[in-house]
Amino acid sequence: MRRYTARPYGGSVTGIRLVSMLMAILVLWMLYNRLKDPTTWRAFADDNEPAATQAVTETPSEPEKIVPGPNDLDEDEVASIQEQFEVVTDKAPLKSREMEAYWRLMDWSHTQSFAELEKRSHNDIAFTQLWDQPENYRGKPIRLRMHVRRVLEFDAPSDQPSVHKVYEAWGWTDESRSFPYVVVFTDPPPGLPIGTDIRAEIVFVGYFLKVLGYKAFDNSRGAPLLVGRAKLISIPAPPQSSKSDPWMIPIVAIGSILLIGTSVWLSRSARKKSKVRMLPDQLSTVTTSANFGTENPFGNLEAPEPVVNVGMSVKSEENSADSPPTIPTDQST
């Protein structure tokens, strides 16, 4: 019987495997060029991660409006506002009875410039401190660097003739992460975008009033509310998507289909060629049932050596190889 070497991929596998390998390399190269584009992964980006920003150029702007008047540096003013703070309710919407303290803090911020208020502001107060103990920080100046995502514009009430517009900004800090702050100011910094879906970095300095309650996804939540002044730091640059070739996706799809088809074809060819078929003239003579018992089923295997028991006499040399060993007889009989 002939021996055949099993070739699961057939005799012409070398060229086919080479072509398949080149196609796989081509597909991987095209996928790499596609996936290295940052815009491909923009949907998985975390909004809390800092994005590329463009610095705000210094442009001539109107000087800050400063209105002389009392503020938190006046002890009598601080003692007077405590009565208004008694009606403030935390973790609840803004009430009409709280508006007197609201506008009084706004007047305090108008008596100072941004730089003067920033020097006296606390910059080490955490979000949890305002949330757990708001009464300890009510009326205190606080500095925040915020990632703003929404800025709304409202008309000022008629009982505030010196104010025409009020701006409300929502955002978070690096310390608060996903927990937002809401800050209110009357003089928006130049270049600050207005809208419900914006991106900007600002520094805010102002007075803490309360933890404002609001509804989000049918859940009650809260955000610290502060009144003061804001300064624009930077605006995130718009995403720059690299121009991808329009033929890249079809080529990747066609290459993948060809690669899968080649693999399937090779696997089927391997199954067919791996089966060895023996022709009739290659088959050995089949032993019939008449030969069973007459032929040595082990072929030309040598017979095992005889076992010699201890005490058994060894055959003498004069005994021929064909004659059996002689058994000694008793001469006395």
Per-residue pLDDT of the chain (333 residues; tens, 9 = 90+): 555 555 555 554 555 666 667 777 777 777 777 777 766 665 555 544 444 555 555 544 568 889 999 999 999 999 999 999 999 999 999 999 999 999 999 999 999 999 999 999 999 999 999 999 999 999 999 999 999 999 999 999 988 888 999 999 999 999 999 899 999 999 999 999 999 999 999 999 999 999 999 998 889 999 999 999 999 998 876 555 445 555 666 666 676 677 677 766 766 666 666 555 555 555 455 444 445 455 555 555 555 555 555 554 444 444 444 445 555 555 554
Measured on CA atoms in the order 214, 219, 220, 226, is the torsion positive or negative? Answer: negative
Burial of residue 205 (CB within 10 Å: 0-12, 13-18, 19+) is buried
The answer to whether residues 181 and 202 touch, using CB atoms and an 8 Å cutoff, is no
249: tokens are 């996706």
Residue-wise pLDDT for 172-196, tens only, equals 999 999 899 999 999 999 999 999 9
Tokens found for residue 37: 């584009």
Q: What is the pLDDT of residue 316?
A: 45
Residue 259, classed as helix, strand or coil, is helix
Q: What is the per-residue pLDDT across 43-59, written as a single tens digit (0 to 9) for each? A: 555 544 444 555 555 54
Give the distance between the most distant pair of CA atoms in the chain. Answer: 159
Specify burial of residue 63 (Cβ count, 10 A radius: 0-12, 13-18, 19+).
Answer: exposed
Provide the 8-state DSSP code for 36: T
Q: How far is CA 121 from CA 80, 214, 307, in A?
A: 21, 26, 109
What residues contact residue 35 under an 8 Å CB cut-off, 6+ apart? 41
Residue 328 carries which side chain, given as an amino acid letter? P
Cα gap 50→236, rounded to integer Å: 9
| 3-state secondary structure at position 136 | helix
pLDDT of residue 302: 55
- The pTM of the full predicted model, rounded to 2 decimals, is 0.60
* Complete DSSP assignment for 82-127: HHHHTT--TTBPPPGGGHHHHHHHHHHHHTS-HHHHHHHSB----H
Q: What is the DSSP string of 236-283?
A: EPPP------TTHHHHHHHHHHHHHHHHHHHHHHHHHHHSPPPPGGGS
Report the pLDDT value the prediction gives residue 317, as an integer from 0 to 100. Answer: 45
CA dist., res. 111 & res. 231, Å (int): 17
List the end-to-end C-alpha distance of the chain, in Å, as a whole number. Answer: 65
What are the tokens at 325?
């060993």
Summarize pLDDT for 252-266 with one digit per residue, the tens.
Answer: 667 667 767 776 676
Give the torsion through C-alpha atoms of 28, 30, 36, 40, to 10 deg.
-110
